Structure 1
Amino acid sequence: MSDTSPSAAPSGKKSLLGQFAIRNSVPIAFIVAALCVAGILAALRMPSSVFPQTNFPRVVILVDNGVMPGDEMMATITRPIEEAMKDIPGAVTIRSATGRGSAEISVFFNWHVDMIQSELYVLGRLGQIRAQLPPTATTTTWRLTFSAFPIIGVSLTSPTRDITTLWEKARYDLKPRFLRINGVARVDLVGGRTPEYHVIIDPAKLLAANLDLAQVTDALQKNNLIAPAGMHEENYRLYLTTVDGRLRSIDDIEKLVVAVKEGHPILVRDFGRVERGPEPVFNVVTAEGVNAVLLNIRSHPEGSTLDIANALRKELAELRRELPPDMKLAFFYDQSLLVRDSVRSVWEAIIFGLVLSVLIIFVFLKNWGTTLTAIVVIPVTVLVTILAMKLVGMSFNLMTLGGIAAAIGLVIDDAIVVVEAIYAKVAAGRPRLDGIREAIGEIFHPLVGSTLTPVVVFIPLAFLEGLAGVFFRALAMTMVVSLLTSLVLAITLTPSLAGWFIRDREHLQHGHALKDAEGGPL
């Protein structure tokens, strides 16, 4: 029979917490089990990367215009683009770098703007001034995020094949296969030399034909195209027609009519010759000491580095069987190795924390029931934290995994305090259920205070701005969720488990007596 004297009963609100946990132990266990299952599913589907996904306040515009001199690039391309970007809402700084045939313009915004909308503003302004730029200039615009950097790099090499053949193999065979992988956003080629046709003109013959280079260039452009030619209706059917004038071979180019003089066509072969060769190259890419073509693989912002790497390894295994024996595919960069090591380190920390907790609690309390009651909090807290990460759109990365690993040593504290308080009450002779109620009532306020202290320390990190906020926000959120989860479990799940696994004083004394008898002299 429990002691119901006024001196023994805790105050009203404090008693209700322990009473609630005891009366609702089955629903609490069911809810915790459901959260654990949801946490396991979330962990299996959680995307993984090295850093937290974020939108840096920067949009980059890359312009390519062949070999145009740098001062002309500055006057005709860089300055018009800079002037068009100045009054975009949220833009704070514009920086540019211009060289021969290329320019890079970076538009910086403040951290509070919607970067997707800002990128659309930049694209809109580029469209407005497109007519002012040279017709040969090509522009590329991208928003700076961590996904803008490659997660995996693959090299294609051969000791016998020329670099143009490697480029064609990478462009037309490997790149489409890699783009089919779920989560891959882009595959960029670095190195190699694109094949092209070179028209080599004899100046004397060109002058004798009374032609200039502009006429030759114009003829090549106008005769190397495919264009709609109109519509034809017949038998109640409408046919769309096209004219295909694309040049497909050296012979097609040499037979091209550039002009007609006195009724005689002047062909390209009359003043020059055509050769197939690689485009001019300004950099050299090698791997393992030979020329190579590199394929840089970039993921979607929501893509999982581990999933992409696993799928890519399977694809490479198939490609190696299909490639010629003298072609070799290999990784030269693999970000998934770092992510995999980080995930493994977290699970090692969890297992290590569980083992240490079991040993320490059992050494001091010498009771498996109390030990089990305390250590259950660690895996449950981790799974609930992972579920919360999934719900808010976070991923496994160095900061979130680091937050979970750092919290492992803290989440067990609340459960140990509760178990020790309950164990002390029961060992002092209080009935088990009364001991649970009294222990929860006595330690509730100190327990909440000790847990909220580190929470208050980490919460301000979630409101940092700039680059520091990008990294520490993820760390702070995982730490805070882990600590608050451990507090809730300590005052709900731990008392419920204590009601099942911790015995009354007679059972505890009987267990210790058996251990003493087994360990005593014969």
Structure 2
Amino acid sequence: MKLPEFGVNRPVATTMLFLGVLVLGIICLMKLGVDLTPEIEPTRVTVATVWQGASCEDVEQKVTRVLEKRLGSVANLDEIRSSTSEGRSNITCQFAWGTNIDEASNDVRSKIDAVKRNLPEDVDDPAIYKFDSASMPIMVIGVTARESIEKLYEIIDDEVFQPLQRLEGVGAVDAFGGLQRQINVTLSRERLAGYGLTLRDIESAIANENQTLPAGNLKVGIIEYTIRILGDYVDPEQIKEIPLMQKDGAIVRLKDIAQITDSFKEITQYVETMGRDGMIMIVQKRSGANTVEVCEAVRTELSRLEAVIPRDIEFFIVNDSSTFITQSIDNVKGTVYWGGLFVILVSFFFLRNIRTSLIIVVTIPFSLIIAFCFMYFMGWTINMISLSALAIAIGMVVDNAIVVLENITSHVNRGVRVREASMFAASEVGLSLLASTATTICVFLPLVFVEGASGIMFRQLGGLVTATLLASLGCALTLTPMMSSILLKSIPRSKREIEEAGKKQSWSRKFYMRTEGYFLSFERAYGNLLSFCLSHRGTVVILSALVIAAAMLTIPFVGTEFTPDQDTGEMNIRFQLPVSTRAELTAHTARKIVDTVYQKEKELVANSKGQISPDEFGQPRDSALRFTNWRAGRSSGGWGGRGSHIGQVNIKLLPL
């Protein structure tokens, strides 16, 4: 093969080539995103329909079932699910993997257009949403205030929303809770009847007065002015003076039949964080943005905003997706580091030579660096699957280099010069290395062609192991011979060389000679075991068959699941009361749940006898709860409850 000859004859070119790969790999590694798992985008379309004021039964009978019947005939539909609540219907269509999401949404839209005439007249037009993992919240932020509680929504809307939405990678910021300003008009039924007015008359009068109208242009000399009639309300007192009618020569104004107050919208959802009223903000990332980087940018911006907004307003990170991702990735990184360290130690233990161990160890980083380049150009991220693939491959990348080095050393011990041995010994085993690498690749490469969610998860595993093994093969046939020709030494031949070598007994040579007896004893023991197996072939075959049968019998007792359970320390409690229960009672139930949690937490802390470990930041603590947050009632946003009877409690737990 020509690769070993190229590596040995052109050491400078080989060194520069691998250094270039090293620099490119480091750049690619710095640009790689970090995520928990590969991005999975199922083909899912949701149809949301709102029917204000309708009961759950009416929505189910006249909206949900009508749409379900029509959507059931959409092509490539795998599963259809629906949920109905007060005034709202949600139908989710799950399509087969590989279905084009745009074509699926167009098919759903055409079916809905054909069935619209069968829906009640006052039903809003059904809205179609294509599922995107970016639409899932990556961070939930609780906001509380003391003195500024009445102006909290206005402050957050003006001072917080816009800066957060301008951050790179942030797709949207949604919020619910808080008091929103509203001018309330409370009508007197008796006065309405006395003047012969209706609610429609009042509504039309308010709408007609609250508008700014264009009034044409005015030309004066060389200047042309645009004229407008300003009619938008700027003060609640203006609303009181709205004329409604003229009776007996007197003008009847709105203040004559109604009471106008500058107040707040009716509270339909209650939110509390750490026992205080407040708001909840939902942060979503843009499609393709890195979750960890976006969350870090949001946390930094919140720290800056705390100096701008009133001091009594506090932010609590209720849910941060990047925390669990970072912890999980760090754990797997630690496994990879320890695996690499033990590979190095094992290589040195068996080779017992610094130079030969260095030749083997160098193949590890170069093989992994090439894998990082492959990940970057494939558009993959550093996640649990990719790091697991590297952890598997890190023990395989040294195999080819060990085979090449062993053959080179064997030729050198037979008297061949190091330079010639490095070229010809590597060429001798080149075809064997290619065959052995190909057999291993044949195990992992088919994972690239698996379809569905499993294919998305394991495509990176198969692709990365394949790329890493090919990189290790290239290193073994070029880098290993080149380094061997430089670092290995020829055995002494003349009497003078033998005498000088005998005088220079380095510590590594002494270690080699002292441990050589143990390795020879191990070889003899293995030879005896091999002789016994060859002499008792039937017994060995029977024992092997029994072991395989015993292993097969344990398969039914091994559980199966898509992904292992994950303990993030977060507990979410979603509860429902009887339909049409008032939001106030739902909020009272949420408070009782939180009180029960705090009571149980005090009992656990008391039983721990004060032996509570510090938190992840090293700070002392006396509680097992990081925060509590709950929300109850109906919300206009997509992440709130969809009925006054629905509530949710979020609790962040800390280990005792």
**TM-score bucket of the superposed structures, by smaller chain:** 0.7 to 0.9
2:346 to 343, 360, 378: 360
Q: Structure 2: state its 5+ residue gaps.
A: 515-656
Q: 1:518 to 1:78 in 2, by over 3 A?
A: closer
Q: How does 1:240-389 map to 2 (within 5 A)?
A: 244-260=230-246, 264-389=250-375
1:44 to 25, 30, 41: 30
Corresponding position of 2:552:
none
Alpha carbons 2:271, 2:278 under 8 Å: kept: yes
Amino acid at match of 2:491: R
Q: 1:181 to 1:365 in 2, by over 3 A?
A: same
The answer to whether the aligner puts 1:494 opposite 2:480 as a matched pair is yes
Deviates further, 405-414 or 64-73: 64-73
Q: Structure 1: state its 5+ residue gaps.
A: 1-14
- Any idea what the Cα deviations from partners look like across 1:346-380, whole Å, max 9, x if unmatched? 54344323432332222322332222221122222
Q: Secondary structure at the match of 2:288?
A: coil
The answer to whether the aligner puts 1:22 opposite 2:14 as a matched pair is no
Corresponding position of 2:144:
157
Q: How does 1:137-152 map to 2 (within 5 A)?
A: 137=124, 141-152=128-139
Alpha carbons 1:254, 1:267 under 8 Å: kept: yes
Q: Secondary structure at the match of 2:151?
A: helix
TM-score (norm 1): 0.84
1:232 to 199, 208, 217: 217
1:113 to 99, 103, 106: 99
The answer to whether the aligner puts 1:391 opposite 2:383 as a matched pair is no
2:164 to 178, 181, 189: 178
Alpha carbons 2:333, 2:387 under 8 Å: kept: no
Q: 1:170 to 1:343 in 2, by over 3 A?
A: same
Alpha carbons 1:157, 1:292 under 8 Å: kept: yes
Distance in 1 (CA, whole Å) between partners of 2:277 and 2:143 is: 9
Corresponding position of 1:61:
47
Distance in 1 (CA, whole Å) between partners of 2:224 and 2:468 is: 67
Corresponding position of 1:11:
none
- Any idea what the Cα deviations from partners look like across 1:218-258, whole Å, max 9, x if unmatched? 3334444456x375374687766655543343223322234
Amino acid at match of 1:207: A
Distance in 2 (CA, whole Å) between partners of 1:452 and 1:301 is: 37
Amino acid at match of 1:329: F
The answer to whether the aligner puts 1:458 opposite 2:466 as a matched pair is no
- Any idea what the Cα deviations from partners look like across 1:422-460, whole Å, max 9, x if unmatched? 223323322213322333234334423333333222222
Distance in 2 (CA, whole Å) between partners of 1:239 and 1:106 is: 54
Alpha carbons 1:51, 1:146 under 8 Å: kept: no
Q: How does 1:412-431 map to 2 (within 5 A)?
A: 412-431=398-417
Q: 1:378 to 1:204 in 2, by over 3 A?
A: same
Distance in 1 (CA, whole Å) between partners of 2:278 and 2:203 is: 33
Alpha carbons 2:354, 2:508 under 8 Å: kept: no
Deviates further, 164-173 or 376-385: 164-173
Distance in 2 (CA, whole Å) between partners of 1:255 and 1:129 is: 47
Alpha carbons 2:98, 2:452 under 8 Å: kept: no
Amino acid at match of 1:514: S
Distance in 2 (CA, whole Å) between partners of 1:219 and 1:492 is: 87
Pairwise CA distance, 1:129: 8.5
Alpha carbons 1:451, 1:487 under 8 Å: kept: yes
Alpha carbons 1:191, 1:285 under 8 Å: kept: yes
Superposed CA RMSD in Å reads 3.5
1:471 to 444, 453, 457: 457
Pairwise CA distance, 1:482: 1.9
Q: 1:103 to 1:319 in 2, by over 3 A?
A: same
- Any idea what the Cα deviations from partners look like across 1:173-220, whole Å, max 9, x if unmatched? 211111111111111213324332222111111111211222223333
Distance in 1 (CA, whole Å) between partners of 2:198 and 2:155 is: 37
Q: 1:516 to 1:241 in 2, by over 3 A?
A: closer
Tell me: higher relative CO, structure 1 or 2? Use CA pairs within 8 A at least 6 residues apart. 1
2:195 to 209, 214, 220: 209
Corresponding position of 1:12:
none
Alpha carbons 1:53, 1:145 under 8 Å: kept: no
Distance in 1 (CA, whole Å) between partners of 2:383 and 2:206 is: 53
Q: 1:80 to 1:457 in 2, by over 3 A?
A: same
Q: 1:495 to 1:245 in 2, by over 3 A?
A: farther
Corresponding position of 2:506:
514
Corresponding position of 2:152:
166
Alpha carbons 2:25, 2:370 under 8 Å: kept: yes
Distance in 1 (CA, whole Å) between partners of 2:198 and 2:181 is: 26
Corresponding position of 1:9:
none
Distance in 2 (CA, whole Å) between partners of 1:381 and 1:222 is: 73
1:35 to 21, 37, 58: 21
Q: Secondary structure at the match of 2:38?
A: coil
Pairwise CA distance, 1:92: 4.9
Distance in 1 (CA, whole Å) between partners of 2:123 and 2:240 is: 24
Pairwise CA distance, 1:335: 1.6
Pairwise CA distance, 1:264: 4.7
Q: 1:393 to 1:202 in 2, by over 3 A?
A: same
1:443 to 426, 429, 438: 429
Alpha carbons 1:54, 1:145 under 8 Å: kept: no
Alpha carbons 1:429, 1:505 under 8 Å: kept: yes
Alpha carbons 1:47, 1:302 under 8 Å: kept: no
Amino acid at match of 1:232: N
Alpha carbons 2:332, 2:384 under 8 Å: kept: no
Q: 1:430 to 1:97 in 2, by over 3 A?
A: same
Alpha carbons 1:156, 1:330 under 8 Å: kept: yes
Deviates further, 254-263 or 425-434: 254-263
Q: Percent identity?
A: 23
Q: 1:460 to 1:37 in 2, by over 3 A?
A: same
Deviates further, 82-91 or 153-162: 82-91
